[in-house]
Amino acid sequence: MRCRLRRPGGPRRLRLDQRRHGRRRHRDLGEHLRGCSGSRAGARSGPGRRARAGSGGHRDRRRRGRDPRRGTRLIPAERPRAPAPRRTGRACVAAALAAAASLTLAGPALAQGPAEPPPAPSVAPEEAIAAALRSQIDAADPEVAAFYRARGFRPLWTQARPRPEALELARALEIEAAAGPDDPWRLAEFEIALSSAWAARAAAGPKVGEGELLAFVDPRLLPRAGRGRAALEAAAEAASLQEHLEAALAARNPIVENLDRALERYRAQWSGLPEIFIPAGRELAPGVRDPRVDLLRLRLGLPDTGGAYDEVLEGAVRAFQRAHGLPDTGRADRTTLEALNAGAAHYERLVEANLERASALPASFGERFILVDAAAGQLWYYDHGQQLAAMKVVTGKPSQPTPMMVGMVSHLIFNPYWNVPEDLVQTSIAPKVLEHGLGYIEEEGLEVLSDYTADAVVLDPAAVDWRAVAAGALSVRVRQKPGPKNMMGKVKLMLPNPLGIYLHDTPHRGDFARSQRLASSGCVRLEDAMSLARLLAGGDKAEAALAVGGEERRIDLAEPAPVYITYLTAAPTSDGFIFRPDVYGLDAGWASRHAAGAISAVGGD
């Protein structure tokens, strides 16, 4: 899927009757109707810096008529002579979309050669369409088939001919086909095609681009069976089908919404300015006369005044600095000149990379949730629309990055033990025991256990061959007892997952004073873990759990809370964006993938 970003100046309201093709296609329709995975390779990257998507280009020829979820070529279907064999799942969706390609829809034809004039539309009674649906339904996806059987095979998208809303939805799904007969059989194929695509969209889980993974680590947050049928039933029960589809298509999480609006404002103010390179040199400031001042004025869209750094230029420099998250000094220092020379297209691409990652998150985060931004080193807790907590966090080192993931905090562990990872036992614990002696074990509150079972017994550290452990020849379980030195601190927020990632307290308070808080092995260390624990479990329960003689205690949450861990290097502000360092290299990876995609689009398959 190739998503388009909406240009400034267009209407804010998403309407089904606003059809956009090629470079001007509405991003929401592309993003929400063409499936869940894909890239933004077609997003604007500056004047003259991308492959054109005009008619006859490689990109249009390759994308036209593709299944929006799988990218497979759609071939106009022949009317079957006998019921097709039963198919389910994605194969059924692809086949159904292929069948829909034979309907008369506005847009270029898939078939090569001269187009034939479309025949005059015929009117098919609803009963005839229902009969055709009954004949074809065995080949449909089970959820789609169950939907139509439950409603007596009454059509949803057609009333003697396709409804206008259905045609617009099909166009948004990029089903562009040659003319074909308008009869009950074809209309039934269209019904199944559109229902299959709509159900598949509802059932699919969000994904990010190739090379980046958003892990859904809790089964309760994964796409559930039955969502596809529920989406069809909601459309059928809607008082206005068009308004229902508009609302469903416009649903975006607040991160995407804020990024998209800020990008529109940025483009309107900065993308149209001339791209003029300003050579490096001394700082340019009010009162300085330098030939580069004229270049700076031209770069910011101001008239030439003979090299004067006046108040107007100072104000323009301040506005640029605020728009790019730079110190608002009004002086063109080295950092400001580098940002000017990078060009608006560079920063647009950074925002587009973040939009792709943000779009992987669900449209709705739920009534209460925890949001962690690993790039910002921040956590927020919301309950029924209110931000109740915000705090700094320490996330994974670049060599051990905190993964983007969606989980569920199900319980809290107060006064937790810390099971030291085996690689740390080998590389850290064993060498220190060899250097400082067995007293190091007691000093750090460590103990050695026989195994990882619940019945494990404590071993005498003197019985362990620590040289073999340090050499990697022997594996041993080491855990740290509850106490002031425990790496988990006073409380650990448990979100069961196979990645071993948790949110927890920490005794290392100095890390929170750093601007870049990258020190963990992937877990999220909390600046104020106890305040978050009180909000989740209730203040009385949290305090009571801590008061139980320093022993480990578990508190199950009456209402588990979703946790969304993402990575955003661009954050909207009232003036533009704050751009953060790409410490995990995800922006660079996004740019490489999209550069390769642009080359492929120009060069052909």
348's tokens = 């647009």
- Residue 61 CA: distances (Å) to CA of 67, 68, 364: 14, 15, 35
Question: What does the alpha-carbon distance between residue 15 and residue 240 come to, in Å, rounded to a whole number?
Answer: 13
CA 182 to chain centre: 40
Which residue of the set 32, 324, 504, 594 is catalytic? 504
The candidate with the shortest Cα–Cα distance to 142, out of 150, 131, 152, is 150
DSSP 426: I
User: Inter-axis angle of helices 241-250 and 227-237, to 10 degrees?
Assistant: 140
How big is the chain by its Cα radius of gyration, in Å?
A: 29
Tokens describing residue 155 = 């059509």
CB 380 within 8 A of CB 387: yes
Give 436's DSSP letter: H
Torsion, Cα 402 405 409 413, to 10 degrees, reads: -30
Alpha-carbon distance values, 146 to 138, 154, 188, 196, 228 (Å): 10, 12, 15, 12, 10
Cα–Cα distance measured from residue 489 to residue 530, given in angstroms and rounded to the nearest whole number = 10
How far is it, in rounded angstroms, from Cα 482 to Cα 83?
67
Do the Cβ atoms of 70 and 97 come closer than 8 Å? no
The yes-or-no answer on residue 92 being catalytic is no
Asked if residue 179 lies in contact with residue 118, where contact means CB atoms within 8 angstroms, the answer is yes
539 neighbors 415 (Cβ within 8 angstroms): no
523 is catalytic: yes
Sheet holding 458-459, edge to edge: 418-419, 477-480, 446-449, 458-459
> Cβ distance 403 to 563 under 8 Å?
no
Q: At what angle do helices 227-237 and 184-203 cross, to 10 degrees?
A: 120
Using an 8 Å Cβ cutoff, are 343 and 238 in contact? no
Half-sphere exposure of 335 (CA within 13 A, CB side): 13
**Alpha carbon distance 36, 8 (integer Å):** 24
Estimate to the nearest angstrom the gap between the alpha carbon of 372 and the chain centroid.
13
For residue 376, the surrounding DSSP H or E stretch is none
Give me the phi and psi of 547, to 5 degrees please.
-85, 0
Contact 429, 421 (CB under 8 A): no
Q: Give one word for 476, left, alpha or beta, with left for phi > 0 and alpha for psi -120 to 50.
A: beta
Tokens coding 439: 């007293």
Catalytic residue of the set 26, 324, 523, 594: 523
278 by DSSP, 3-state: which? coil
What is the number of other CB atoms lying within 10 angstroms of the CB of residue 289? Answer: 10
Burial 526-548 (b: 16+ CB within 10 A, else e): bbebbbbbbbbbeeebbeebbee
**What letter does residue 502 receive in the DSSP assignment?**
-
Strands 518-520 and 386-396: parallel
Q: Which residues carry out catalysis?
A: 504, 523
